[in-house]
Amino acid sequence: MTIWPRLRSSSRAIFQRSRIESEMEDELRFHIESYAEDLYRTGVPKQEALRRARAEFGGMDRTKEQCREARGVGILESFIWDARYGLRMLRKSPGFTTVAIITLAVGIGANTAIFSLINAVLFRPLPVRDPSGLVVLRWSAHKSPKYHSYSSYGDTAPSRDRSNPEGDSFPHAFFEQVENAHIFSSLGGFAGVGPMALSGNGPATSARGQAVSGDFFSTLGVQPALGRLLQPSDDRPSSAPAAVLNYAYWQKEFGASPAVVGRVVQLNGVPFTIVGVAEPKFLSLSFGASYDVWVPISFRPALNRNFKREYEDSTSWWLLMVARLKRGVPASQAQAAVDLLFRDQVLHGAKPLLEQKDAPKITLVSAQDALVGQSGQFKDPLRVLMVGVAIVLLIACANVAGLVLGRATARRHEIAVRLALGATRRRLLRQLVTESVILALAGGLLGILLAWWGAHAIAAQIASGQDRPVWFTSALNIRVLMFTIAVSLLTGILSGLAPALRSLRLDLTPALKQDSRSSRSAQQGRSRLLHIGNLLVALQAALAIVVLMGAGLLVNTLRNLKNLDPGFDTRNVLTFELNPRLAGYKPDQIDQLYRDLHDQISGLPGVQSVSYSQAPLLAGSWMRTDFNFIPPGESKPVRKEADWMPVSTDFFNTMKIPLLAGRIFTPGEYADAERNSNLEMAMIPGQKGGPPDTRVPYAAVVNEEFAKRYYPGLNPLGQHFGADDGRGDPDRPNVEPGWIIVGIAGNAKYNSLRRDIFPTIYVPLTHSQAAFEVRTANNPTALIVPIRELIYKRDANLPMMRVKTQSEHIDMLLGQERMVAQLSSYFGAVALLLACIGLYGLMSYEVTRRTREIGIRMALGARRANLIRLVVVQGIAVALLGVAVGVGAALAVNRLLTKLLFGVKPGDPATLIAVMLLLVAVALLAAFLPARRATRVDPIVALRCE
């Protein structure tokens, strides 16, 4: 019978059950009576003939069941009967049902919560119309093109294969070629602008911007929430500058005022008219990215004058492209067309960037797969957490399996009666598994509520550890709900199948006796049940060890990072950043601004010292330089690398980085650095026929690691390094003046607590954006308002950005570690609790089973302490068995944590011993409580117990 007739027959059997059952009963009765009539005709008495006919025909119920199965309607119909019967049986045992549902809800809810985050991070659908029709252009070749600069703004994953590099950024000229070729239905280009100073709406604020082409929003299918979005007519240098606001930014900074449309604001000193607000769901294309303002690509050079040359330079690759395929045009055809354009540009353009043998090509990649954004940094932690919650679910399954197994003993008589009445073992197996599935589905429904709460709490915790909000939703969508249903069904089968099979292995004769509980068969059954229970509890303990060990390692990692000495004093330091160029300051005005602000902030009450550097320490920013270096005793220079940090003269004093030798920078050395910087901007150093390069070497303070690595056993003070004479070209003398070491500072962490100390060069800061460090006597946040007012009075167009204490910067760095440590600790606690509940239940059952034995021992004078020890020793033995197995499993599984650990190894003995002692201690308590209760039983009552 095919599926459709079977379903139709099943539905008819369900909705017309009474009539069909009546017809079947009449037909069976007719066959029995006909057979009895035949026997009566052969001389058998009428009553005897009817008895023999019924006996030879078999049980009526069994025959009905066979008929139902022969019709092919038994599965669906019997499932409904099983479900109704299972609900009645579960309702009769409210205590068992409640404990089982809550246990499964915890395991299923934890898995659903973590999977919802994985779904949001790794499978997040793009917030646009028909995302499956969007593709991103990606180039690849056997070597990197000879581009002058390359930027992808974190929207796509960087290429890690140097032998076959690839990327998604292109020059603006190539974007125009593809756009004019009309290969796609529509084409959008986009690139990050970075922080911008927005003024004209009160005090200047920092806004993160993205430059997009005129067709960007129409390509994506994004709709306006207010006004209109950017159009192709806006993306022309001759057009009036237009801007679109992010919905959340519009609400926060403009009070959700509808009058914002048509208002003129200043972006980096350039007037832009706000033409609209994007719909709420669109925040960006890439995970983790968020933009406050969108502006046309053609106005990007106006926002950053230094970008003007790169805008039209075919060797500057900075623009990403997203396209929508034409209807009816296969992707392979569009890819071949755009590939032809790309090869022509890089091989035969005015400046060929590749050769034919490099095999350059274009591939169209799904936008969903290409625009990964920041999702990579969350992959490993979420995978580790998923393994942890999966183990918690296994513990919950083992726990419920133990409960079901114990309950099956009480149902031996019921099962025996049903078997005697003709029920098949397969039919009873289905009935018992159905009950377990009902429990799991109920646990799944409750788990969804726990998952909804847990997912939102975890998402909020992740967002709190980011400099800007991580815009993703942890909503329980269809994929998550299907995952929950699948997990619930699998959980029900896993937790119910083994106990069901075990409960059907019984001998009918002793099981049908009323005093079967005292029979030898029953005693043997309970003994086997106890052995299986011991194994289940040992399994729970072993799995709990794995989760607790992982949690302990991650907690130790967080503690090691928090207690790590960064090489400077992080207390009572306020940091904020300024970028005067966004407010229109010229390079020669920037240094004077910093000096004035330094003096004014130093005069505020409670300020102990003030300094500024190009970036705050341990805030994620990082700069590195390479330089020529002649090792001591050699004559040939080699290329070396070092971290690089421009600072003010008070930097070491403010941050309390010790000066080990030499001195700090003098005012004259800052003047030399400013003059060098002015010369660099005014000419190409050493260009043939140009003005001579009169720059002098920069003064440098190096850290202790630099001195040890590059000048071992020598005094580096006064050493000159990094000079580049043009590599033997007489027309390019003194291309790089290099540095002269004037001081040696102590080692200090730069951008990350995890990263080892690297050689670092501190140089005078000039003509650059800066981060101020303000050390205070008390709470540094109390100075935020006074400093903001001071800057506003100086220049209302100068935004104060990334205002944080040094401690907050470190907290942000540890956000991921803190999240993983806390969640793994929660899951470890749940695993420990479930394992101990299982042990407690097993010991309670054992005490109940041995009540008569305990009564006899007490009547014969056994001491209570000995009786307690009798039970506790058994419980501890089971726990130790689980510990022994769990230690081996933990050592194998926790190798997955290697990337997340710091200062601790996967097999850390201290963590392992602590986890083992914790489990044994809690197991001791779980075994002690039932043992203590058993010794309080009256011996007379215990002796009467069967």
Whether the Cβ atoms of residue 370 and residue 141 lie closer than 8 Å to each other: no
Whether the Cβ atoms of residue 329 and residue 338 lie closer than 8 Å to each other: no
Contacts of 201 (CB under 8 A, 6+ apart): 253, 254, 263, 265
What's the confidence (pLDDT) of residue 437?
A: 86
For residue 620, is it left (φ>0), alpha (ψ between -120 and 50) or beta?
Answer: left
Summarised one tens digit per residue, pLDDT across range 53-69 is 777 766 666 666 666 65
Q: What is the mean pLDDT of residues 739-757?
A: 93
What's the confidence (pLDDT) of residue 873?
A: 84
C-alpha 339/C-alpha 341 separation (Å) is: 5
- pLDDT at residue 830 greater than cutoff 50: yes
Q: What is the mean pLDDT of residues 420-448?
A: 81
**How many Cβ atoms are within 10 Å of 590's Cβ, its own excluded?**
21
DSSP of 556-575, one letter per residue? HHHHHHHT---SS--TTEEE
What's the confidence (pLDDT) of residue 7?
A: 46
Percentage of the residues of the chain whose pLDDT score is greater than 70: 84
What's the confidence (pLDDT) of residue 760?
A: 95
Cα angle, residue 407 at apex, residues 401 and 412 outer, rounded to 5°: 120
Positive or negative, the CA dihedral 682, 687, 692, 696 is positive
- pLDDT at residue 98 greater than cutoff 70: yes
What's the confidence (pLDDT) of residue 262?
A: 93
DSSP of 584-595, one letter per residue? T--HHHHHHHHH
C-alpha 301/C-alpha 48 separation (Å) is: 108
Amino acid at 251: Q
C-alpha 869/C-alpha 854 separation (Å) is: 12
What's the confidence (pLDDT) of residue 449?
A: 86
Contacts of 360 (CB under 8 A, 6+ apart): 139, 140, 141, 145, 342, 343, 346, 347, 354
What's the confidence (pLDDT) of residue 772?
A: 95
- pLDDT at residue 158 greater than cutoff 90: no
Q: Which residues pair with 721 in a beta bridge?
A: 739
C-alpha 647/C-alpha 573 separation (Å) is: 16
Summarised one tens digit per residue, pLDDT across range 769-824 is 899 999 999 999 999 999 999 998 888 888 888 899 999 999 888 888 888 888 88
What's the confidence (pLDDT) of residue 58?
A: 63
What's the confidence (pLDDT) of residue 68?
A: 60
- pLDDT at residue 761 greater than cutoff 90: yes
Q: What is the mean pLDDT of residues 922-932?
A: 83
Give the Å distances, CA to CA, from 93 to 177, 270, 403: 74, 74, 12
Summarised one tens digit per residue, pLDDT across range 294-314 is 999 999 888 887 777 778 888
Summarised one tens digit per residue, pLDDT across range 889-907 is 888 888 888 888 888 888 8
Summarised one tens digit per residue, pLDDT across range 251-299 is 988 999 999 999 999 998 899 999 999 998 888 888 778 889 999 999 9
Contacts of 261 (CB under 8 A, 6+ apart): 226, 227, 274, 275, 276, 277
> Within 13 Å, how many C-alpha atoms sit on residue 347's CB side?
14
Q: Supply the Cα-derived Rg of the chain in whole angstroms.
A: 38
Least confident interval from 501-510, 532-541, 687-696:
687-696
- pLDDT at residue 496 greater than cutoff 90: no
Using pLDDT thresholds of 50, 70 and 90, give the confidence band for residue 684.
very low
Closest C-alpha to 473, from 255, 291, 282: 282
Chain-wide mean pLDDT for the chain?
A: 82
- pLDDT at residue 13 greater than cutoff 60: no
What's the confidence (pLDDT) of residue 569?
A: 94
Using pLDDT thresholds of 50, 70 and 90, give the confidence band for residue 175.
very high
Closest C-alpha to 65, from 55, 51, 77, 56: 77
For residue 44, is it left (φ>0), alpha (ψ between -120 and 50) or beta?
Answer: beta
Summarised one tens digit per residue, pLDDT across range 524-583 is 555 555 567 778 888 888 889 999 999 999 999 999 999 999 999 999 999 999 988 888
C-alpha 688/C-alpha 676 separation (Å) is: 19
Summarised one tens digit per residue, pLDDT across range 438-474 is 888 888 888 888 888 887 777 777 666 566 655 555 5
Closest C-alpha to 828, from 702, 919, 735, 944: 919
Summarised one tens digit per residue, pLDDT across range 190-239 is 998 878 888 888 778 888 899 999 999 999 999 999 999 999 999 998 89
